[in-house]
Structure 1
Amino acid sequence: MIEVLVVDDDTRVARVNAAYVARVPGFHVAAEAHSAAGALRRLAELPRIDLVLMDQHLPDLTGLAVVREMRRRGRRTDVIMVTAARDMATVQAAMRHGALQYLVKPFGFAGLRVKLEAYAELRRTLDGGGEAEQAAVDRIFGALSAPTGPRLPGGHSPTTADRVRQALMRAGEPLSAQQIADRTGVSRQTAQRYLKLLERAGRAALTLRYGEAGRPEHRYVWAARL
């Protein structure tokens, strides 16, 4: 069982993230913390923490400052940054301080599940021991960069999925399936199918636009814009 410390300054968000973690097989939430001091205290108190889900914006120190202090104290606990901070300086600093993954808020259960499953696969590979051939090394680094999008069912094209995803990410407002179709050159039915995949994966959210009459129009927005 992988023991997890969830760190977030917002107690409600911490509870939601902890509930997400508990839904992924093989993971157990050992504790929550809502400040840098609380996180360091939990790390000192608990005999085993394998993974920290670390928020960047904490009331006393930044999450990266906590990671630096962890390393200074000799704690090799793995870290996944889970934060609304999306500036490149913070992302780069997280990489340099050894964060294995970086998940930008807001996200749904599916987005976090992909990260956790990739982390679990990484641990299984590393725990196997022995010498690593190039193929094994490639699998290890592939796990660290596991895609955040949905796993495509049979008959779906990764190229089309990426076109729909890019169109939605670049939009400054919610878009209908027809608008996505116009921007990507696919049919409306195809756009609708891929949009639903993104919604189920937690990468897009469905909104409704009500007109004067008739059924509401389904529109989609990239989750980071919510």
Structure 2
Amino acid sequence: MSKSSAFDVVIVEDEPYLASLHRDFIEQNFKLRVVGIAATLEQARALLELHQPPLVLLDNFLPDGQGVELIDSPLLKSFDCSVIFITAASDMQTCSQAMRSGAFDYIIKPVSFHRLRSSLERFMQLVETKRHVKVVDQTALDRLFNLPAINIPSASSTKGIEPNTLERVQAVFTHKPDISWSVEQVVQEVGISKTTGRRYLEYCVEMGFIVVEMQYGNIGHPRRLYRKKIGA
């Protein structure tokens, strides 16, 4: 896939680890190119005005406000942009406000990569439909906008997953199933890079072998830890 043919994406996420994780997942699996990452609403507005991307992944809880305010802003309404809302906000009011304002999808943290994949696949399908189809029928409309993404079948991607490395990563959790591991601890144990470790850990989450635990401290962002799923 050439970079020139990819569609631009802006990620609005104040947790650097998650922003990096989403960027890697998007660019490795889709015809998409992340042109900027914003940690605040102010940065988001600047990036959106500069790039006018067709897609933005938008967190809600940001240092200078709530992302849901951005969805219905004149800036986003000024160009054709789909919003995938990714947030820990699970209250019905926030969800309803986001969907009423035109969010393409709403994903609750911690993010399931099955769920994110389905959402991105629907977005890519929408882009292609808008480019090549002038008139659609009811079935096509329902498939693009109304069907819950969770009902859309999607196969788990094994791109970049090597069996021997996967076995070594899984062995870390099998040998010590009661320990919650950080990505740094896993990559040190296995002897791989952090980028590779993240990819394998999220693949293991996707296939149900391990689960994510968020460790909250008094200062800074929560840490993302991994533990073997009971019965896996």
Q: Tell me, which stretches of 5 or more residues in structure 1 are unaligned? A: 154-198, 208-216, 222-226
> Judging changes above 3 Å, is the alpha-carbon distance between structure 1 residues 220 and 121 closer, same or farther for their aligned structure 2 residues?
farther
Larger Rg: 1
Which amino acid in structure 2 is aligned with residue 20 of structure 1? Answer: F
Query: What is the aligned counterpart of 2:230 among 216, 219, 222?
Result: 219
8 Å Cα contact 1:81/1:103 also seen in 2: yes
Paired position in structure 1 for 2:48: 43
Paired position in structure 2 for 1:193: none
Paired position in structure 2 for 1:103: 107
Where in structure 2 are the equivalents of 1:139-158 lying within 5 Å? 139-142=143-146, 145-147=148-150, 151=154
Name the % identity: 28
Normalising by structure 2, report the TM-score: 0.62
Normalising by structure 1, report the TM-score: 0.63
8 Å Cα contact 1:33/1:42 also seen in 2: yes
8 Å Cα contact 1:21/1:27 also seen in 2: yes
- For 1:84 and 1:100, locate their aligned partners in 2 and report how far apart those are by CA, in whole Å: 17
**1:75 aligned counterpart, secondary structure:** coil
Which amino acid in structure 2 is aligned with residue 219 of structure 1? Answer: I
Where in structure 2 are the equivalents of 1:85-100 lying within 5 Å? 85-100=89-104
Q: Tell me, which stretches of 5 or more residues in structure 2 are unaligned? A: 1-5, 157-202, 212-227
Deviation readout 1:37-59 (Å, 9 max, x if unpaired): 0000111122x411000000011
- For 1:55 and 1:141, locate their aligned partners in 2 and report how far apart those are by CA, in whole Å: 21
> Judging changes above 3 Å, is the alpha-carbon distance between structure 1 residues 152 and 51 closer, same or farther for their aligned structure 2 residues?
closer
Which amino acid in structure 1 is aligned with residue 69 of structure 2? Answer: A
How much does 1:77 deviate? 1.2
Where in structure 2 are the equivalents of 1:17-96 lying within 5 Å? 17-46=22-51, 48-71=52-75, 74-96=78-100
Where in structure 2 are the equivalents of 1:154-173 lying within 5 Å? none
Paired position in structure 2 for 1:162: none
Which amino acid in structure 2 is aligned with residue 67 of structure 1? Answer: I
Query: How many matched pairs?
Result: 165
**1:103 aligned counterpart, secondary structure:** strand
- For 2:152 and 2:76, locate their aligned partners in 1 and report how far apart those are by CA, in whole Å: 35
> Judging changes above 3 Å, is the alpha-carbon distance between structure 1 residues 52 and 218 closer, same or farther for their aligned structure 2 residues?
closer
> Judging changes above 3 Å, is the alpha-carbon distance between structure 1 residues 202 and 70 closer, same or farther for their aligned structure 2 residues?
farther
How much does 1:152 deviate? 7.2
How much does 1:123 deviate? 1.7
